[in-house]
Protein backbone atom coordinates (compact mmCIF):
# COMPACT_ATOMS: atom_id res chain seq x y z
CA UNK A 1 0.00 0.00 0.00
CA UNK A 2 1.72 3.17 -1.16
CA UNK A 3 1.98 6.18 1.19
CA UNK A 4 -1.19 5.54 3.17
CA UNK A 5 -2.02 7.53 6.30
CA UNK A 6 -1.29 5.44 9.37
CA UNK A 7 -2.66 6.40 12.77
CA UNK A 8 -0.13 6.45 15.59
CA UNK A 9 -0.15 3.15 17.50
CA UNK A 10 0.07 4.89 20.86
CA UNK A 11 -3.13 6.83 20.08
CA UNK A 12 -4.85 3.57 19.14
CA UNK A 13 -3.66 1.99 22.40
CA UNK A 14 -5.04 4.95 24.36
CA UNK A 15 -8.38 4.58 22.60
CA UNK A 16 -8.49 0.86 23.40
CA UNK A 17 -7.84 1.52 27.08
CA UNK A 18 -10.42 4.30 27.31
CA UNK A 19 -13.13 2.21 25.62
CA UNK A 20 -12.33 -0.82 27.77
CA UNK A 21 -12.82 1.37 30.84
CA UNK A 22 -16.26 2.55 29.66
CA UNK A 23 -17.31 -0.98 28.75
CA UNK A 24 -16.37 -2.26 32.20
CA UNK A 25 -19.41 -0.35 33.51
CA UNK A 26 -21.70 -2.28 31.12
CA UNK A 27 -21.23 -5.98 31.86
CA UNK A 28 -23.13 -8.90 30.37
CA UNK A 29 -25.95 -8.56 32.91
CA UNK A 30 -26.67 -5.03 31.61
CA UNK A 31 -27.05 -6.30 28.03
CA UNK A 32 -28.99 -9.41 29.08
CA UNK A 33 -31.62 -7.32 30.80
CA UNK A 34 -31.98 -4.94 27.85
CA UNK A 35 -32.15 -7.91 25.51
CA UNK A 36 -34.94 -9.52 27.54
CA UNK A 37 -36.98 -6.29 27.42
CA UNK A 38 -35.88 -5.22 23.95
CA UNK A 39 -34.86 -1.93 25.54
CA UNK A 40 -32.49 0.75 24.20
CA UNK A 41 -29.06 1.00 25.90
CA UNK A 42 -29.53 4.66 26.81
CA UNK A 43 -26.91 4.72 29.59
CA UNK A 44 -24.31 3.10 27.37
CA UNK A 45 -25.00 5.50 24.47
CA UNK A 46 -24.92 8.46 26.88
CA UNK A 47 -21.57 7.30 28.27
CA UNK A 48 -20.06 7.04 24.78
CA UNK A 49 -21.54 10.42 23.81
CA UNK A 50 -20.36 12.18 26.97
CA UNK A 51 -16.83 10.95 26.45
CA UNK A 52 -16.88 12.20 22.85
CA UNK A 53 -16.36 8.86 21.10
CA UNK A 54 -19.43 9.14 18.89
CA UNK A 55 -18.08 12.42 17.53
CA UNK A 56 -14.77 10.81 16.60
CA UNK A 57 -15.15 11.48 12.88
CA UNK A 58 -16.58 14.99 13.16
CA UNK A 59 -13.83 17.52 12.34
CA UNK A 60 -12.50 19.65 15.19
CA UNK A 61 -13.85 22.86 13.64
CA UNK A 62 -17.37 21.50 14.31
CA UNK A 63 -16.59 20.39 17.85
CA UNK A 64 -15.66 16.76 17.10
CA UNK A 65 -12.32 15.11 17.66
CA UNK A 66 -11.41 14.82 13.96
CA UNK A 67 -9.97 11.34 14.35
CA UNK A 68 -9.15 9.04 11.44
CA UNK A 69 -11.26 6.16 10.15
CA UNK A 70 -8.60 3.82 11.52
CA UNK A 71 -9.14 5.29 14.99
CA UNK A 72 -12.91 4.97 14.57
CA UNK A 73 -12.55 1.27 13.69
CA UNK A 74 -10.60 0.75 16.91
CA UNK A 75 -13.39 2.40 18.94
CA UNK A 76 -16.07 0.11 17.51
CA UNK A 77 -13.90 -3.00 17.54
CA UNK A 78 -13.04 -2.49 21.19
CA UNK A 79 -16.71 -1.98 22.15
CA UNK A 80 -17.54 -5.35 20.61
CA UNK A 81 -14.41 -7.11 21.90
CA UNK A 82 -15.53 -6.14 25.41
CA UNK A 83 -18.91 -7.81 25.05
CA UNK A 84 -20.89 -4.63 24.36
CA UNK A 85 -22.78 -3.72 21.19
CA UNK A 86 -22.32 -0.49 19.25
CA UNK A 87 -25.32 -1.08 16.98
CA UNK A 88 -27.43 1.27 19.08
CA UNK A 89 -25.30 4.22 18.04
CA UNK A 90 -22.77 3.34 15.32
CA UNK A 91 -24.83 4.90 12.51
CA UNK A 92 -24.01 8.41 13.65
CA UNK A 93 -20.40 7.84 12.65
CA UNK A 94 -21.22 7.16 9.00
CA UNK A 95 -24.49 9.05 8.37
CA UNK A 96 -22.80 12.19 9.60
CA UNK A 97 -20.26 11.77 6.75
CA UNK A 98 -22.98 12.38 4.15
CA UNK A 99 -23.79 15.73 5.77
CA UNK A 100 -20.08 16.52 6.05
CA UNK A 101 -19.32 15.80 2.42
CA UNK A 102 -22.48 17.00 0.71
CA UNK A 103 -24.35 19.27 3.13
CA UNK A 104 -24.41 23.05 2.81
CA UNK A 105 -22.34 25.23 5.14
CA UNK A 106 -25.57 26.20 6.89
CA UNK A 107 -26.46 22.54 7.51
CA UNK A 108 -23.00 21.74 8.80
CA UNK A 109 -22.96 24.76 11.11
CA UNK A 110 -26.43 24.00 12.37
CA UNK A 111 -26.16 20.27 12.99
CA UNK A 112 -22.58 19.06 13.36
CA UNK A 113 -21.68 20.99 16.55
CA UNK A 114 -24.97 19.87 18.12
CA UNK A 115 -24.28 16.24 17.19
CA UNK A 116 -20.69 16.52 18.42
CA UNK A 117 -21.89 17.95 21.74
CA UNK A 118 -24.40 15.14 22.10
CA UNK A 119 -27.41 17.48 22.08
CA UNK A 120 -28.72 15.96 18.85
CA UNK A 121 -28.60 12.36 17.68
CA UNK A 122 -28.32 11.46 14.00
CA UNK A 123 -28.91 7.74 14.29
CA UNK A 124 -31.66 7.01 11.77
CA UNK A 125 -30.87 6.12 8.19
CA UNK A 126 -33.92 5.56 5.98
CA UNK A 127 -32.94 3.76 2.78
CA UNK A 128 -34.40 0.23 2.70
CA UNK A 129 -38.05 -0.24 1.68
CA UNK A 130 -40.21 -3.36 1.92
CA UNK A 131 -40.74 -3.84 -1.81
CA UNK A 132 -37.28 -2.87 -3.09
CA UNK A 133 -34.89 -4.35 -0.49
CA UNK A 134 -31.32 -4.30 -1.75
CA UNK A 135 -32.46 -2.87 -5.08
CA UNK A 136 -32.21 0.70 -3.79
CA UNK A 137 -32.88 2.33 -7.16
CA UNK A 138 -36.37 0.77 -7.12
CA UNK A 139 -37.41 2.54 -3.92
CA UNK A 140 -40.85 4.15 -4.01
CA UNK A 141 -40.88 6.83 -1.31
CA UNK A 142 -41.33 10.17 -3.05
CA UNK A 143 -40.47 13.75 -2.20
CA UNK A 144 -42.47 16.30 -4.23
CA UNK A 145 -41.50 19.94 -4.38
CA UNK A 146 -44.08 22.36 -2.95
CA UNK A 147 -44.03 26.13 -2.38
CA UNK A 148 -42.98 25.57 1.24
CA UNK A 149 -40.44 22.82 0.63
CA UNK A 150 -41.02 19.09 0.07
CA UNK A 151 -43.87 16.67 0.70
CA UNK A 152 -42.84 13.08 1.54
CA UNK A 153 -44.99 10.00 1.01
CA UNK A 154 -44.02 6.36 1.31
CA UNK A 155 -42.61 3.78 3.66
CA UNK A 156 -39.23 2.65 4.92
CA UNK A 157 -38.40 -0.58 6.68
CA UNK A 158 -35.58 -1.58 9.02
CA UNK A 159 -35.00 2.04 9.92
CA UNK A 160 -33.03 1.28 13.03
CA UNK A 161 -32.95 3.63 16.04
CA UNK A 162 -35.66 5.91 14.56
CA UNK A 163 -37.33 6.13 17.97
CA UNK A 164 -34.09 7.24 19.60
CA UNK A 165 -32.86 9.73 17.03
CA UNK A 166 -33.56 13.44 16.57
CA UNK A 167 -32.56 13.41 12.93
CA UNK A 168 -33.07 11.04 10.03
CA UNK A 169 -31.11 10.86 6.81
CA UNK A 170 -33.70 9.89 4.23
CA UNK A 171 -33.36 8.76 0.60
CA UNK A 172 -36.43 9.50 -1.54
CA UNK A 173 -37.28 9.71 -5.21
CA UNK A 174 -37.62 13.26 -6.55
CA UNK A 175 -37.86 12.39 -10.26
CA UNK A 176 -39.82 9.38 -11.53
CA UNK A 177 -37.58 6.52 -12.60
CA UNK A 178 -38.76 6.61 -16.24
CA UNK A 179 -37.86 10.31 -16.54
CA UNK A 180 -34.18 10.20 -15.55
CA UNK A 181 -31.28 10.09 -17.97
CA UNK A 182 -28.98 7.95 -15.84
CA UNK A 183 -30.50 5.08 -13.87
CA UNK A 184 -28.78 6.36 -10.72
CA UNK A 185 -30.31 9.87 -11.02
CA UNK A 186 -33.58 11.07 -9.52
CA UNK A 187 -33.06 10.14 -5.87
CA UNK A 188 -32.37 12.83 -3.26
CA UNK A 189 -31.17 12.87 0.33
CA UNK A 190 -32.98 14.82 3.05
CA UNK A 191 -32.09 15.55 6.64
CA UNK A 192 -35.31 15.42 8.66
CA UNK A 193 -35.84 16.87 12.11
CA UNK A 194 -38.13 14.16 13.33
CA UNK A 195 -39.41 15.47 16.66
CA UNK A 196 -42.19 17.64 15.27
CA UNK A 197 -43.03 15.22 12.47
CA UNK A 198 -43.75 12.15 14.57
CA UNK A 199 -47.53 11.95 14.85
CA UNK A 200 -47.65 14.70 12.25
CA UNK A 201 -47.25 12.59 9.12
CA UNK A 202 -44.55 10.23 10.39
CA UNK A 203 -45.58 7.01 12.11
CA UNK A 204 -42.96 4.68 13.57
CA UNK A 205 -43.68 1.01 14.26
CA UNK A 206 -41.06 -1.06 16.07
CA UNK A 207 -40.19 -4.46 14.58
CA UNK A 208 -39.40 -7.15 17.13
CA UNK A 209 -36.44 -9.16 15.88
CA UNK A 210 -34.15 -11.97 17.06
CA UNK A 211 -31.75 -9.30 18.34
CA UNK A 212 -32.25 -6.18 20.40
CA UNK A 213 -31.72 -3.65 17.61
CA UNK A 214 -34.44 -0.98 18.01
CA UNK A 215 -35.34 -1.35 14.37
CA UNK A 216 -38.60 -0.01 12.92
CA UNK A 217 -40.93 0.60 10.01
CA UNK A 218 -41.47 4.27 9.24
CA UNK A 219 -44.53 5.55 7.38
CA UNK A 220 -44.59 8.95 5.66
CA UNK A 221 -48.02 10.39 5.00
CA UNK A 222 -47.89 13.87 3.41
CA UNK A 223 -44.94 14.86 5.57
CA UNK A 224 -44.03 18.50 4.96
CA UNK A 225 -40.38 19.47 5.31
CA UNK A 226 -38.63 22.76 4.46
CA UNK A 227 -36.46 23.45 1.37
CA UNK A 228 -33.38 23.48 3.60
CA UNK A 229 -33.83 19.79 4.43
CA UNK A 230 -32.42 18.80 1.03
CA UNK A 231 -28.79 17.69 1.29
CA UNK A 232 -26.63 18.61 -1.70
CA UNK A 233 -28.11 18.64 -5.19
CA UNK A 234 -31.55 17.33 -6.04
CA UNK A 235 -31.36 14.03 -7.91
CA UNK A 236 -27.82 13.12 -6.79
CA UNK A 237 -28.75 11.38 -3.55
CA UNK A 238 -27.86 7.87 -4.63
CA UNK A 239 -24.21 8.81 -5.14
CA UNK A 240 -24.18 10.59 -1.77
CA UNK A 241 -25.48 7.51 -0.02
CA UNK A 242 -23.01 5.30 -1.87
CA UNK A 243 -20.14 7.54 -0.82
CA UNK A 244 -21.07 6.93 2.83
CA UNK A 245 -21.51 3.20 2.41
CA UNK A 246 -17.82 2.37 2.27
CA UNK A 247 -17.36 4.02 5.65
CA UNK A 248 -20.29 1.97 6.93
CA UNK A 249 -18.76 -1.25 5.59
CA UNK A 250 -15.38 -0.54 7.24
CA UNK A 251 -16.92 0.40 10.59
CA UNK A 252 -19.22 -2.63 10.70
CA UNK A 253 -16.30 -4.85 9.70
CA UNK A 254 -14.44 -3.52 12.74
CA UNK A 255 -17.39 -4.48 14.96
CA UNK A 256 -17.21 -7.99 13.52
CA UNK A 257 -13.49 -8.20 14.34
CA UNK A 258 -14.37 -7.15 17.89
CA UNK A 259 -17.06 -9.84 18.07
CA UNK A 260 -14.62 -12.46 16.75
CA UNK A 261 -12.09 -11.47 19.41
CA UNK A 262 -14.73 -11.68 22.13
CA UNK A 263 -15.82 -15.16 20.95
CA UNK A 264 -12.24 -16.43 20.77
CA UNK A 265 -11.28 -15.02 24.13
CA UNK A 266 -14.44 -16.34 25.81
CA UNK A 267 -14.09 -19.76 24.19
CA UNK A 268 -10.41 -20.05 25.09
CA UNK A 269 -11.07 -19.26 28.75
CA UNK A 270 -13.89 -21.77 28.86
CA UNK A 271 -11.89 -24.47 27.04
CA UNK A 272 -9.05 -24.07 29.55
CA UNK A 273 -11.38 -24.11 32.58
CA UNK A 274 -13.91 -26.76 31.68
CA UNK A 275 -12.54 -30.12 32.70
CA UNK A 276 -14.18 -33.43 31.83
CA UNK A 277 -12.72 -36.88 31.01
CA UNK A 278 -9.89 -35.93 33.36
CA UNK A 279 -8.60 -32.78 31.64
CA UNK A 280 -9.51 -29.44 30.08
CA UNK A 281 -11.65 -29.78 26.97
CA UNK A 282 -9.22 -27.36 25.28
CA UNK A 283 -6.56 -30.08 25.08
CA UNK A 284 -8.64 -31.86 22.44
CA UNK A 285 -7.87 -30.96 18.86
CA UNK A 286 -11.58 -31.21 18.08
CA UNK A 287 -11.99 -28.14 20.29
CA UNK A 288 -8.70 -26.44 19.39
CA UNK A 289 -8.81 -26.59 15.61
CA UNK A 290 -12.10 -24.77 14.94
CA UNK A 291 -10.92 -22.04 17.33
CA UNK A 292 -7.45 -21.86 15.77
CA UNK A 293 -8.95 -21.67 12.29
CA UNK A 294 -11.34 -18.90 13.32
CA UNK A 295 -8.37 -17.11 14.95
CA UNK A 296 -6.39 -17.25 11.69
CA UNK A 297 -9.36 -15.99 9.67
CA UNK A 298 -9.98 -13.19 12.17
CA UNK A 299 -6.35 -12.02 11.93
CA UNK A 300 -6.47 -12.01 8.11
CA UNK A 301 -9.77 -10.09 8.11
CA UNK A 302 -8.35 -7.64 10.65
CA UNK A 303 -5.54 -6.75 8.24
CA UNK A 304 -8.07 -6.09 5.50
CA UNK A 305 -10.11 -3.82 7.79
CA UNK A 306 -6.93 -1.92 8.63
CA UNK A 307 -5.99 -1.63 4.96
CA UNK A 308 -9.45 -0.37 3.96
CA UNK A 309 -9.45 2.18 6.81
CA UNK A 310 -6.00 3.49 5.87
CA UNK A 311 -6.95 3.81 2.20
CA UNK A 312 -10.08 5.70 3.30
CA UNK A 313 -7.98 8.02 5.48
CA UNK A 314 -5.60 8.53 2.60
CA UNK A 315 -8.50 9.40 0.27
CA UNK A 316 -7.47 6.55 -2.07
CA UNK A 317 -9.93 4.27 -3.86
CA UNK A 318 -11.14 1.76 -1.28
CA UNK A 319 -14.46 0.26 -2.50
CA UNK A 320 -12.99 -3.19 -3.15
CA UNK A 321 -11.16 -3.24 0.18
CA UNK A 322 -14.12 -1.90 2.20
CA UNK A 323 -16.44 -4.55 0.80
CA UNK A 324 -13.85 -7.31 1.16
CA UNK A 325 -13.19 -6.26 4.75
CA UNK A 326 -16.91 -6.33 5.58
CA UNK A 327 -17.38 -9.78 4.08
CA UNK A 328 -14.25 -11.38 5.56
CA UNK A 329 -14.82 -9.84 8.99
CA UNK A 330 -18.49 -10.91 9.07
CA UNK A 331 -17.43 -14.44 8.05
CA UNK A 332 -14.69 -14.46 10.70
CA UNK A 333 -17.04 -13.35 13.49
CA UNK A 334 -19.64 -15.90 12.48
CA UNK A 335 -17.05 -18.69 12.35
CA UNK A 336 -15.68 -17.64 15.76
CA UNK A 337 -19.23 -17.46 17.14
CA UNK A 338 -19.99 -20.96 15.92
CA UNK A 339 -16.76 -22.34 17.41
CA UNK A 340 -17.40 -20.52 20.70
CA UNK A 341 -20.93 -21.84 21.00
CA UNK A 342 -19.79 -25.38 20.25
CA UNK A 343 -16.96 -25.09 22.79
CA UNK A 344 -19.49 -24.15 25.47
CA UNK A 345 -21.70 -27.16 24.76
CA UNK A 346 -25.06 -26.75 26.52
CA UNK A 347 -23.86 -23.69 28.43
CA UNK A 348 -23.54 -21.83 25.13
CA UNK A 349 -27.32 -21.68 25.11
CA UNK A 350 -27.62 -20.23 28.60
CA UNK A 351 -28.35 -16.51 28.65
CA UNK A 352 -25.91 -15.77 31.48
CA UNK A 353 -22.86 -16.72 29.38
CA UNK A 354 -23.67 -14.06 26.73
CA UNK A 355 -22.55 -16.43 23.98
CA UNK A 356 -26.05 -16.94 22.60
CA UNK A 357 -26.68 -13.16 22.58
CA UNK A 358 -23.43 -12.34 20.79
CA UNK A 359 -24.08 -15.27 18.42
CA UNK A 360 -27.46 -13.78 17.43
CA UNK A 361 -26.06 -10.27 17.22
CA UNK A 362 -23.15 -11.12 14.95
CA UNK A 363 -25.35 -13.14 12.59
CA UNK A 364 -26.91 -9.89 11.39
CA UNK A 365 -23.75 -8.93 9.56
CA UNK A 366 -24.15 -11.67 6.98
CA UNK A 367 -27.28 -9.79 5.87
CA UNK A 368 -26.99 -6.12 6.81
CA UNK A 369 -26.06 -3.49 5.97
CA UNK A 370 -25.22 -5.40 2.80
CA UNK A 371 -25.54 -9.13 2.30
CA UNK A 372 -22.61 -11.36 1.48
CA UNK A 373 -24.15 -12.22 -1.91
CA UNK A 374 -24.26 -8.60 -2.95
CA UNK A 375 -20.65 -8.08 -1.89
CA UNK A 376 -19.62 -11.10 -3.97
CA UNK A 377 -21.52 -9.68 -6.96
CA UNK A 378 -19.76 -6.35 -6.47
CA UNK A 379 -16.32 -8.00 -6.23
CA UNK A 380 -17.00 -10.17 -9.27
CA UNK A 381 -17.86 -7.12 -11.31
CA UNK A 382 -15.55 -4.41 -9.98
CA UNK A 383 -12.64 -6.55 -8.85
CA UNK A 384 -12.59 -9.22 -11.53
CA UNK A 385 -14.33 -7.54 -14.46
CA UNK A 386 -17.11 -10.12 -14.80
CA UNK A 387 -20.51 -9.02 -16.21
CA UNK A 388 -22.82 -7.22 -13.77
CA UNK A 389 -25.32 -9.71 -12.36
CA UNK A 390 -27.92 -7.34 -10.86
CA UNK A 391 -29.64 -4.00 -11.42
CA UNK A 392 -28.81 -3.80 -15.13
Which residues of the chain form contacts with ligand FAD (CB under 6 A)? 125-128, 133-134, 158-160, 209, 213, 215, 364, 367-371, 373-374, 377, 389-390
In the complex with ligand FAD, the residue whose CB is nearer, 130 or 279, is 130
What angle separates helix 285-313 from helix 319-344, to the nearest 10 degrees? 160
Q: Is-contact 224 151, C-beta < 8 A?
A: yes
Region of residue 149 (phi > 0: left; psi between -120 and 50: alpha; otherwise: beta)? left
Residue number, 254 or 375, with CB nearest to ligand FAD? 375
> Is the Cβ of residue 89 or residue 370 nearer to ligand FAD in the bound state?
370
Nearer to ligand FAD, 89 or 304 (CB): 89
Cβ 56 vs Cβ 76: under 8 Å: no
Whichever of 340 and 364 has its CB closer to ligand FAD, that residue is 364
Query: Residue 84 or residue 364: which is nearer to ligand FAD going by CB?
Result: 364
- Helix 69-81 and helix 285-313, axial crossing angle in degrees, nearest 10: 150
Question: Toward ligand FAD, which CB reaches closer, 189 or 271?
Answer: 189
Minimum distance, C-beta of residue 277 to ligand FAD, in the bound complex (Å): 41
Cβ at position 243, least distance to ligand FAD in Å? 16
CB of 218: closest distance to ligand FAD in angstroms?
10
Q: HSE (CB half, 13 Å, CA atoms) of 215? A: 19
The CB-of-75 to ligand FAD minimum distance in angstroms stands at 19
CB of 64 to ligand FAD, least distance (A): 22
Least distance (Å) between residue 332 CB and ligand FAD: 19
CB of 299 to ligand FAD, least distance (A): 27
Residue among 141 and 266 whose Cβ is closer to ligand FAD: 141
- What is the C-alpha separation between 202 and 223, in angstroms, rounded? 7
Q: For residues 253 and 311, which CB has a smaller minimum distance to ligand FAD in the complex?
A: 253
Residue 175 or 371: which CB sits closer to ligand FAD? 371
Radius of gyration of the chain (CA): 21
Beta carbon of residue 100, minimum distance to ligand FAD (angstroms, whole number) = 19
- The backbone region for 7, taken as left when phi is positive above 0, alpha when psi lies in -120 to 50, beta otherwise, is beta
- Cα separation, 53 vs 50, whole angstroms: 8
What DSSP character marks residue 222? E
Nearest to 330 by CA among 385, 387, 287, 376: 376
Residue nearest to ligand FAD (CB): 133
CB of 150 to ligand FAD, least distance (A): 19
**CA pair distance 329, 335, nearest whole angstrom:** 10
Distance CA 374, CA 368 (A): 10
Q: Quote the CA–CA distance of 49 and 312 in Å, as a whole number.
A: 24
The nearest distance, CB 152 to ligand FAD, in angstroms, is: 15
- For residues 343 and 34, give the distance between their C-alpha atoms in angstroms, rounded to a whole number: 26
Let me know: does 222 contact 146? Beta carbons within 8 Å.
no
The CA distance from 75 to 52, in Å, is 11
Q: Are 281 and 343 in contact (CB under 8 A)?
A: yes
Q: Which residues contact 80 (CB under 8 A, 6 or more apart)?
A: 86, 254, 255, 256, 257, 258, 259, 261, 262
Amino acid sequence: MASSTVTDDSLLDEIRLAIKKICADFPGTYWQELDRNRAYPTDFVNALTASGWLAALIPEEYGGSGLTMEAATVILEEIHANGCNAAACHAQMYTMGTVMRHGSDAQKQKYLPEIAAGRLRLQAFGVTEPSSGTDTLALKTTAKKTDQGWRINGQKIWTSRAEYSDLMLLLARTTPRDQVQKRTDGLSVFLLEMKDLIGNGITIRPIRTMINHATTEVFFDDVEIPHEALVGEQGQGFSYILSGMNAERILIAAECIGDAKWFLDTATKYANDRSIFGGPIGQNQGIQFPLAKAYAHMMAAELMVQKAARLYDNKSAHGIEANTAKMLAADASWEAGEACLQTHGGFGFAEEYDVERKFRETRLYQVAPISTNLILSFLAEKGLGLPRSYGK
